[in-house]
Amino acid sequence: MPIIVEKLTHTYMPGTENEHVAVDNVSLTINEGEFFGIIGHTGSGKSTFIQHLNGLVQPTSGKVTVDGFDMSDKKQRQKGRALVGMVFQYPDYQLFDSTVLDDVAFGPKNLGQSEEEAKKSAAEAMKTVGLDPELFGEKSPFELSGGEKRRAALAGIIAMKPKYLVLDEPMAGLDPSGRRDVVATIDALRRELGCTVIMVSHSMEDVARSAERIAVLNEGKLYALGTPDEIFSKTQELIDMGLDAPQTARLAEALRQKGCDVPESIYTNERFIEWFRGLKHV
Ligand SMILES: Nc1ncnc2c1ncn2[C@@H]1O[C@H](COP(=O)(O)OP(=O)(O)OP(=O)(O)O)[C@@H](O)[C@H]1O
Ligand SMILES: [Mg+2]
């Protein structure tokens, strides 16, 4: 069963002079098992949108159902929410316990596991994200580096084994090797746990490789929805919209503007190299 979003609108501070429509009449379906990317420039409504997927905020109008559970109904929301794990944009907001292990164990404990079971689940989740529980378990979350904090926040969510894993800018603020670590961890999670991943990013590069379908938000509206091939065929439009296009897509676009016949499906390094090697010398 999917997540179905129907005509979702979210207005902040309605009726005041600061009224702001952050999500504007968005309809889409996220299918079980898929890797769904959401991109859009700063302030386009990405975080507001995904906070509806676990009922953290309520629609001004429209509806969200998670596996049939209506997220605006209090009782159904509890059931739907148990299926959705949300890793927030700022991991500091998510980490609050005195040790990393306790922090990661918080979720499973809340789901009714005993202290001992919860710590076991926590240690497993830490291993999955590449944080050795022996080394990091007793540290304070605030002693961790940026990348380690993100992994700890991710561990806290996957320890609850959610069906839908929602990640808000999981790569923000990380250096290239940190980004690669997070990507590898998410890919491994999909393989091992088979969960559906919904990943938000303002960088197309991050979603270009992994996502099977991508939604582009612009000023709260659903600007485009499709496969990476369909989305990156609009590279110039996306750049004009203020999005960070993958470097390779920019290069391909620049070459096209110089009259070079680069296919629109070239937007990752791997594809560029493959295409370039296949060129015949003239
Ligand atoms: N709690 C709030 N109260 C009022 N306005 C808000 C609130 N949260 C967000 N907004 C506004 O709603 C719009 C969408 O914000 P949102 O955080 O959803 O965007 P975003 O796409 O996640 O941006 P970013 O890429 O910077 O994370 C922005 O204009 C923002 O200023
Ligand atoms: Mg955001």
pLDDT tens for 251-263 read 888 999 999 988 8
Q: What is the mean pLDDT of residues 216-232?
A: 93
What pLDDT is stored for residue 166 in this prediction? 95
The CA-to-CA distance between both ends of the chain, in Å, stands at: 53
Q: What is the mean pLDDT of residues 183-206?
A: 84
- Report strand pairing: 213-218 vs 35-39: parallel
Out of 27-41, 123-137, 186-200, least confident range: 186-200
Tokens of 195: 């969960």
C-alpha to C-alpha distance for 72 and 227, rounded to whole angstroms: 30
Q: Is the CB of 218 under 6 A from ligand 1?
A: no
Calculate how far, in angstroms, residue 218's C-alpha sits from the geometric centre of ligand 2.
13
Residue having the nearest C-alpha atom to atom 28 of ligand 1: 43
For residue 156, give the H/E element and its range.
Answer: helix 146-158
Q: How many residues does the chain have?
A: 282
Tokens of 99: 């040790």
Orientation of helix 146-158 relative to helix 115-128, angle to 10°: 130
For residue 30, give the H/E element and its range.
Answer: strand 20-30
C-alpha to C-alpha distance for 4 and 151, rounded to whole angstroms: 28
Residue having the nearest C-alpha atom to atom 17 of ligand 1: 47
Per-residue pLDDT tens for 73-117? Answer: 999 999 999 999 999 887 776 677 789 999 999 999 988 899 999
> Interior CA angle at 233 toward 276 and 179, to 5°?
75
For residue 86, give the H/E element and its range.
Answer: strand 84-87
Could you tell me which of 3, 16, 14 has the C-alpha nearest to residue 60?
14
Per-residue pLDDT tens for 17-43? Answer: 999 999 999 999 999 999 999 999 889
CB 48 within 8 A of CB 217: no
Most confident of 72-76, 86-90, 147-151, 204-208: 72-76
Is the pLDDT at 281 greater than 80? The verdict is no
- DSSP lists the bridge partners of residue 66 as 3, 69
Tokens of 215: 């939604």
Residue having the nearest C-alpha atom to atom 12 of ligand 1: 22
Q: What is the mean pLDDT of residues 186-209?
A: 84
Calculate how far, in angstroms, residue 48's C-alpha sits from the geometric centre of ligand 2.
7
C-alpha to C-alpha distance for 153 and 158, rounded to whole angstroms: 9
What pLDDT is stored for residue 183 in this prediction? 80
What pLDDT is stored for residue 199 in this prediction? 95
Q: What is the mean pLDDT of residues 222-247?
A: 86
Q: What average pLDDT does the structure give for the chain?
A: 89
- DSSP lists the bridge partners of residue 4 as 29, 65
The residue among 175 and 163 whose pLDDT is bigger is: 163
What pLDDT is stored for residue 93 in this prediction? 67
Tokens of 37: 């990317």
What pLDDT is stored for residue 180 in this prediction? 77
